[in-house]
Structure 1
Amino acid sequence: MRLVFAGTPITAVPSLDALVDDGHEIVAVLTRDDAKVGRSRVLTPSPVAARGEELGLRVIKSNRMSEEVTNELSNLDAELGVIVAYGALIDEATLAAPTRGWVNLHFSLLPELRGAAPAQRAVMRGDSETGMTIFQLTAGLDEGPIFAARTSPVGADETSGDLLERLAVEGAEFLTATVEAIGADTLNAVPQAGTATFAPKLGKHDSAVTWSAPSEVVDAHIRGVTPEPGAVSLVDGQPLRILSISRPSEDAEVPTLAPGHLGAVGKRVFVGTGTSPLELLSVQPAGKKPMPARDWLRGRRDAETLVLA
């Protein structure tokens, strides 16, 4: 089929590659504008833009559906639009541009976790299972009828970054099979059923760790905000990024600690929660490079009185 592909982050690249490999004609790639990245704030194309250009595809960059963009897409005679994490709303005029409309690969089992951060919120909730849904895009937020859905487990130690990386690969194969069935008219969309929940985009306010919560809640929260926006605690008013933690085994020697208090057993560092302690594996102090937690704690003269807030 003649397809328009819309996507922005690295998680959308496997789907673009899979559609190209499957023989579809990608008449244009729609992605968000170049953004300033890193400490030096260098203006950088999105991963999808970069990959589209590598493939020699027509790349359209826009953060919103202007009349100019809509007209450009309408003149491409595309049969179907495919979206994977584009990051902006598609208005009704643009929805009508491809003859078959648009389909969206979404990383949750709709109507669960509609919105911008479904994989992150699934991990933060402590879910043991999530999935992917391919649905017909409508003007409402992830409300369209469903063509296909597939479940996928959430690993006990997976961060949201790990989960998204895996779903991006699994979703690419799932997407190509579904697009093929849509093109062959062998698949019909059915309305969503059940109560909707929502997964709003994560912000800096989601970084704060509440150490007084139960250990499983703290663990899920930290994994859910890793790598972005990242888990952060304060030490003497300075931010300390919590890069990785783990749940100690039942037979491990673990100190008794109040929430946020630190303790070492041999080379292992633990931090207290509202229930049992977690092992602190790696951290990044403000203005410094990531380091093992034991090295960070060993370098502190006040190690015995430190508290993460």
Structure 2
Amino acid sequence: MDIVFAGTPEAAVPALEALAASEHRIRAVLTRPDAPVGRRRVLTPSPVKARALELGLEVIEAGRLRGEVIAQLRDLDVDAVAVVAYGAIAGPAALATARLGWFNLHFSLLPAHRGAAPVQRALIAGETRSGVSVFRIDEGMDTGPVLRRRELALDQPDVATALDDYAHAGAGELVAAFDDLAAGTADFTEQAALIDAGEAASHAEKITVDDAHLDFTHTAEAIIDRSRGTSPAPGPWAEISGKRTKIFGLGPAVEVDIQPEPGLLTTRDRTAVLGCGDGWIAVAEIQPFGKARMAAVDFLRGHGEVRFDPVEAEPDPADTESTSTEVPDPRA
């Protein structure tokens, strides 16, 4: 088939390479425009653009799918569009530019974890299994009919490793889906049927800095899961004297001979350990505010024991009585 490939980050590169090596023809690669990177804000091409140029493929850069970009896609007259983390919504006009439609490789077992951060949210939730899905895009949020699903382990130490594993596994599933489409043997399953069969639909919202804030009154398991789901970016963090400090490489600690104190960072048997709600966790690295990342034991060697600030509980609106004396307008 003649296809357009749409993608932007590193996680989309394995699928681009797999399709370029397949029997299908990539007529063009659609990616987001060059973006400033680093402290010096150097304008840098996306990983997909860089690899597409190495492969000698035509590149179309667009932050939004409308106007001239729609015309370019229509002129290419392709059979289908393959999408892997492109980063923009395809509306009806864009979806109509390919005869068979647009097909997305998504890093979850749909209908679970629809949305922007499926692997991150699954890790934070402590799930041990997830997978990849290839589905036809419709006007909903990852709600289209599914062509292929593959279950995978989710036991990686961080998001970067998990995404790399899923990107390579998903690349093969995407090529297989396009092979089925070309042969006319594609088998579509509506997500409503999967839900009726007992599978739960869920939404994976984009990860924010607040999602990476660690509360050491929680269990060791919950803290480690949140760390895995937010490493390496935005990076798990807590505060020391009001200053944000990132913490990396959290894992189960060996037996510690003192009672856990949530938020206490100390050493035992030449290992940095951190107290939490039900025990201790090991800490590999720490990045103090405004400083370079370093081994946690080296940090403690210069500072002694350190206590992270407690996380202030969010007030419950239901427990807050209104003090307003304003009389409501009966016409409202």
Cα RMSD (Å): 1.2
Counterpart position of 2:318: none
Amino acid at match of 1:160: V
Alpha-carbon distance in structure 1 between the residues aligned to 2:306 and 2:224: 23
Q: Is the 8 A contact 2:135 2:148 kept in 1?
A: yes
Q: Distance in 1 between matches of 2:247 and 2:161?
A: 16
Residue 223 (structure 1) aligned with residue 228 (structure 2): yes
Asked if the contact 1:209/1:232 (under 8 Å) is kept, the reply is yes
- The corresponding residue for 1:180 is 179
Residues 228-267 of structure 1: pairs in structure 2 closer than 5 A: 228-249=233-254, 252-267=255-270
Cα pair 1:271 1:279 within 8 Å, conserved: yes
Contact 2:133 2:170 in 1 (8 A): no
Q: What's the CA shift string for 1:75-104, capped at 9, x where partnerless? A: 001111000111110011110101111110
Separation of aligned partners in 1, 2:139 and 2:306? 54
Instruction: Summarize the Cα distance change of 1:17–1:58 in structure 2 as closer, same or farther, 3 Å threshold.
Output: same
- Asked if 1:200 is matched to 2:205, the reply is yes
One-letter identity of the residue aligned with 2:244:
P
Describe the superposition over 1:195-245 as per-residue Cα deviations: whole angstroms up to 9, x where unpaired: 320001111111211111111111100110001111111111222111211
- Alignment correspondent of 2:287: 284
User: What amino acid is the match of 1:80?
Assistant: A
Quote how far apart the aligned CAs of 1:289 are.
1.9
Normalised by the length of structure 2, the TM-score is 0.89
Q: Per-residue displacement from partner, 1:123-178 (whole Å, max 9, x unpaired)?
A: 000001000110011111000001010100111x5211111011011111111112
CA distance, structure 2, for counterparts of residue 248 and residue 182 of structure 1 = 50
Mark the runs of 5 or more structure 2 residues left unpaired by the alignment.
Answer: 311-332
SS of alignment partner, residue 23 of structure 1:
coil
Task: State the partner residue of 1:61.
Answer: 61
Per the alignment, residue 108 of structure 1 pairs with 108
2:128 equivalent in structure 1: 128
Tell me the residue number matched to 1:88: 88
Q: What letter matches 1:286 in structure 2?
A: F
Structure 1 outlier segments of 4+, above 6 Å: none
Corresponding residue SS for 2:161: helix
2:5 touches 2:83 (CA, 8 Å); kept in 1?
yes
Distance in 2, matches of 1:241 and 1:137, equals 38
Distance in 1 of aligned mates of 2:50 and 2:16 = 12
State the AA in 2 paired with 1:218.
Answer: I
Aligned to 2:216: 211
Highest Rg: 1 or 2? 2
Aligned residue in 2 for 1:307: 308
Question: In percent, how many aligned pairs have the same letter?
Answer: 39
**Aligned equivalents of 1:183, 1:211: Cα separation in 2:** 53
Structure 1 residues not aligned, in runs of 5+: none
Confirm or deny: 8 A CA contact 1:238 1:286 kept in the other structure: yes
Q: CA deviation at 1:58?
A: 1.0
| 2-structure distance, mates of 1:158, 1:174 | 24
What is the total number of aligned residue pairs between the two structures? Answer: 304
